[in-house]
Amino acid sequence: MFISKLSLRNFRNFRNVSLNFNKGVNTIIGENGSGKTNLFHAIRLLVDESMPRGVRLYESDFNRSLGKWTGHWIIIQIEFQELDSSEEAQSIAMHKIGAVDDFDTTQGTYSMFFRPRIEIRRNLFKLSQSDDKTVEELEKLLSGVSLNDYESVFAGRGNVDFSDEETYSQYVGNFTEITFPDPDDEQTDVYGIKMYGISIPNEFACTFAKALRDVESDLRSYRDNPLLNLLRDKEKNISIDKKHEIEEQVDILNKNISGLEEVKGVSKGITQTIKEAVGETYAPNVNIKSELPSEMEKILQSLKLWVGDPDEEGHEGRLWELSLGGANLIYLSLKLLEFEKIKKDNKIANFILIEEPEAHIHTHIQKTLFQKLDKERTQVFISTHSTHISSVCEISSMNILGRGKQRAHVFAPSSNLKADKIIKLERYLDANRTNLLFAKGVILVEGDAEHILIPEIIKKVLGVSLDELGISLINIGSTGFENVAQLFHKDRIHRNCSVLTDNDLSIVKLPKDPKDDNQYERDCRNSQISGVDRKEKLELFCKDNNFVKPFYAKYTFEVDFLLEGNSYEIIQTVEKAFKKQQDKDRIKGLLENKDVSISGKEVLRLAEKFKKGWFAIMVSEKVSNITAIPEYILDATVFACPTLNESILLAIAKYRLTKLKDYHYIGDTTDYKSLLDKIILIEDVAEALEFFIEELPHDVLSKLISKLNA
């Protein structure tokens, strides 16, 4: 038995989402604040017996995008597969799958409804039946509803997914059209059957290991300490004779400590001082006694962990002397052992939820832990924002949470992909490339030069890094754009993906007849043919997919970078790389030539001479705030990050003016200091950006804003 689906409606930052799960290990990845903790809490409300059954939710538990929450329902629904024949499992089974008497007893649901009590629902239904119903009447009715008018109901065998908009409108209500169902029409095949006599969470073995940020506190806690939970279980196995013997020894030790003359002396001194202060009549008798616990359970509670790092053999100390990573690993190990303790053969399902195991744990431990988890009889859920963990998990068992405006989005990266493509993607996504799963936008490149130089250009010219913009730039090498870009699709990850590649048009004029080509022309012609073929395939691949868009250099990255007006950066690189002045002068003359067949050929020769990646590193050292960003790269950046907010744009504007004040083109007489002083005084962000555009219409930021607004 395993959880195959989780549906959430109006719960915290989840407005209406469904997540599909597989047997074994399931991974939920997402940035901070995307809802990983909320999702785990939702699962635990239904399957963790340590959670209170009298669930009481609050206004803050309703999704904020609802606006007015009154009247709405919070619904958490779990779907199970492979139910066995036990009475407990069958209490949530028997879905109708066809004819009236046609049931699937291996599939079932368990749901929690936090909803208005039946009197309120009856009033809503009565209003919806009125011919002259109005929004004002609905608002008046709902204005008198409070949390005290809500109830928590657990039900099994429900047969619809309430995360679906039409289903919610039909069976909960449509607040816009003021239509509500009759609450006295039970429709048990829809809402399910209320659970009486069976507590489903008691039939599960479930352990939750929360995010490992305050391990020492938890290991000192009486309630949350997993070590104490393990010891409590062992205490009942100690023989009666052994218990009595130990308890008697503790009693003797208490008497010996209390009988020490030093202890008695302090006791007498306290008594004498009190009598002198208040007199014999009112002075209480004071005695000091040792109270080491003599009950076996309390004795076991006094046991503490002594630990040592593996590279300091023979040394042991208290827990807080151990590295934080080591302490976290011990905590997690205790939680796993605690789970093994409660996992019984008579439980109908076993679950373990591990929240962000990467916190303070070394990279190799993260990967090892993930791969060694027991997945045979246990379904595991791990939430993470670690690329190291995500790199070793299967995307077929992965859900991605993304932050949206007042609600989270859920993406399944393997949805509607064939098995062979999924396997190839899983092999490709190593720790470096899984960044694309966490990004707000992605730019794919196929060479080291772009991978090295583009982030540096963006940082120096705009003053913000690609990371700050939420963009992952991924070098796909020889993998092929289509193999990676297929992740970004309406069925999978809803993130914009820019594909940066070369048109590879010939930089020299080619003869009409290919037979007349010399060797260089033949190479140029072959590259151009490959470029045309690549473009055709990319355009076909991106057709009807709004999440992927290709952007092309007219020639190649190095040539287009040069032609954009960046000969200075390359010439400065040459000045540093070559020793002979005559070589420097010759190369400079070639690079500044207006004929692309000359300047383009020279920059490609330099890239080949130093190797493209190393040449990009050399050039990146000369990039500055007045380096020109090639148009197609700017377009790709805008597409990958279409939601640049005004505060970021204003920060870029101030950065540009600050830098231009001290370093600008020769002959540029613009008073950048004055512009900076003026824009700082403009309080309204939109007005400040308008001022910047008016004063510097040809600046790269003005172009960027224009593209964003296009």
- 3-state SS track over 584-631: HHHHHHHHCCCCHHHHHHHHHHHHHHHCHHHHHHHHHCCCCCCCCCCH
What's the pLDDT score for residue 678? 97
pLDDT confidence band for 106 (50 / 70 / 90)? confident
Cα–Cα distance, 696 to 626 (Å, whole number): 14
What's the pLDDT score for residue 100? 46
Beta bridge partners of 599: none
Characterize the bridge pairing of strands 25-30 and 398-403. parallel
Instruction: State pTM to two decimals.
Output: 0.81
**Weakest mean pLDDT among 135-144, 332-341, 595-604, 673-682:** 332-341
Report DSSP state, residue 287. -
Mean pLDDT confidence for 656-670: 96
Cα–Cα distance, 110 to 92 (Å, whole number): 6
Cα–Cα distance, 399 to 279 (Å, whole number): 74
pLDDT: is 343 or 12 the higher one? 12
What's the pLDDT score for residue 556? 97
Which pLDDT tens digit goes with each residue over 364-422?
Answer: 556 566 666 655 678 989 898 877 677 778 899 999 999 888 899 999 999 999 999 99
* Both structure tokens of 466: 């690609």
Q: Which residue has the tokens 């913000």?
A: 464
Collapsing DSSP to helix, strand or coil, 16 comes out as strand
Q: What are the start-end ranges of the E strands in 316-462?
A: 317-318, 349-355, 379-384, 398-403, 408-411, 441-445
What's the pLDDT score for residue 378? 83
Residue 92, number of CB atoms within 10 A of its CB: 28
Helix axes 596-610 and 581-591, enclosed angle (nearest 10): 130
* Both structure tokens of 687: 């007005």
Beta bridge partners of 493: 488
What's the pLDDT score for residue 642? 81
Residue 134, number of CB atoms within 10 A of its CB: 11
Mean pLDDT confidence for 614-634: 97
Mean pLDDT confidence for 101-117: 85
What type of residue is 405?
K
| Residues whose CB is less than 8 angstroms from the CB of residue 698 and which lie 6 or more positions away in sequence, other chains included | none
pLDDT: is 73 or 265 the higher one? 73
* Both structure tokens of 113: 């409804």
Cα–Cα distance, 424 to 446 (Å, whole number): 18
Q: Which residue has the tokens 């473009």?
A: 535
Cα–Cα distance, 254 to 290 (Å, whole number): 5
* Both structure tokens of 119: 């009197």
* Both structure tokens of 444: 């794919």
Mean pLDDT confidence for 263-268: 80
Residue 179, number of CB atoms within 10 A of its CB: 16
**Weakest mean pLDDT among 17-31, 96-110, 163-177:** 96-110
What's the pLDDT score for residue 375? 59
Mean pLDDT confidence for 243-253: 82
What's the pLDDT score for residue 206? 87
Mean pLDDT confidence for 284-313: 64
The rounded Cα 672 to chain-centroid distance in angstroms is 41
State how far the alpha carbon of 458 is from the alpha carbons of 219, 465, 563, in Å: 47, 6, 18
pLDDT confidence band for 529 (50 / 70 / 90)? very high
The alpha carbon dihedral of 217, 219, 221, 226 has a sign of positive
The rounded Cα 228 to chain-centroid distance in angstroms is 32
pLDDT confidence band for 52 (50 / 70 / 90)? confident
pLDDT confidence band for 263 (50 / 70 / 90)? confident
What's the pLDDT score for residue 22? 93
Q: DSSP 3-state helix, strand, coil percentages of the chain (rounded to 5)?
A: 45, 15, 35
Collapsing DSSP to helix, strand or coil, 439 comes out as coil
Which pLDDT tens digit goes with each residue over 123-154?
Answer: 999 999 999 899 999 999 999 999 999 999 99
Cα–Cα distance, 550 to 531 (Å, whole number): 13
What's the pLDDT score for residue 5? 96
Q: Which residue has the tokens 């009409």?
A: 512
What's the pLDDT score for residue 581? 96
Q: Average model confidence (pLDDT) for the chain? A: 86
* Both structure tokens of 255: 């008497």
pLDDT at 301 over 70: no
Q: Which residue has the tokens 């779907």?
A: 79
pLDDT: is 338 or 556 the higher one? 556
State how far the alpha carbon of 428 is from the alpha carbons of 433, 443, 587, 694, in Å: 8, 16, 40, 47
Mean pLDDT confidence for 57-70: 95
Among residues 633, 629, 638, 641, which one has the least CA distance to residue 469?
641
Mean pLDDT confidence for 310-335: 56
What's the pLDDT score for residue 374? 57
- Rounded CA Rg of the chain: 34
- The helix (H) or strand (E) run that includes residue 25 is strand 25-30
What type of residue is 390?
S
State how far the alpha carbon of 92 is from the alpha carbons of 104, 107, 184, 683, in Å: 11, 8, 22, 59
Which pLDDT tens digit goes with each residue over 410-455?
Answer: 999 999 999 999 988 888 887 667 888 889 999 999 999 999 999 9
Which pLDDT tens digit goes with each residue over 546-602?
Answer: 999 999 999 999 999 999 999 999 999 999 999 999 999 999 999 999 999 999 999
State how far the alpha carbon of 246 is from the alpha carbons of 256, 257, 301, in Å: 15, 17, 14
pLDDT at 647 over 90: yes
**Weakest mean pLDDT among 98-112, 338-352, 366-380, 381-395:** 366-380
The rounded Cα 705 to chain-centroid distance in angstroms is 29
**Weakest mean pLDDT among 225-229, 387-391, 666-670:** 225-229
What's the pLDDT score for residue 324? 46
| Residues whose CB is less than 8 angstroms from the CB of residue 615 and which lie 6 or more positions away in sequence, other chains included | 449, 558, 573, 606, 607, 609
Characterize the bridge pairing of strands 496-502 and 548-553. parallel
pLDDT confidence band for 540 (50 / 70 / 90)? very high
Mean pLDDT confidence for 268-281: 72
Which three-class secondary structure string do you get for 337-363?
Answer: HHHHHHCCCCCCEEEEEEECCCCCCCH
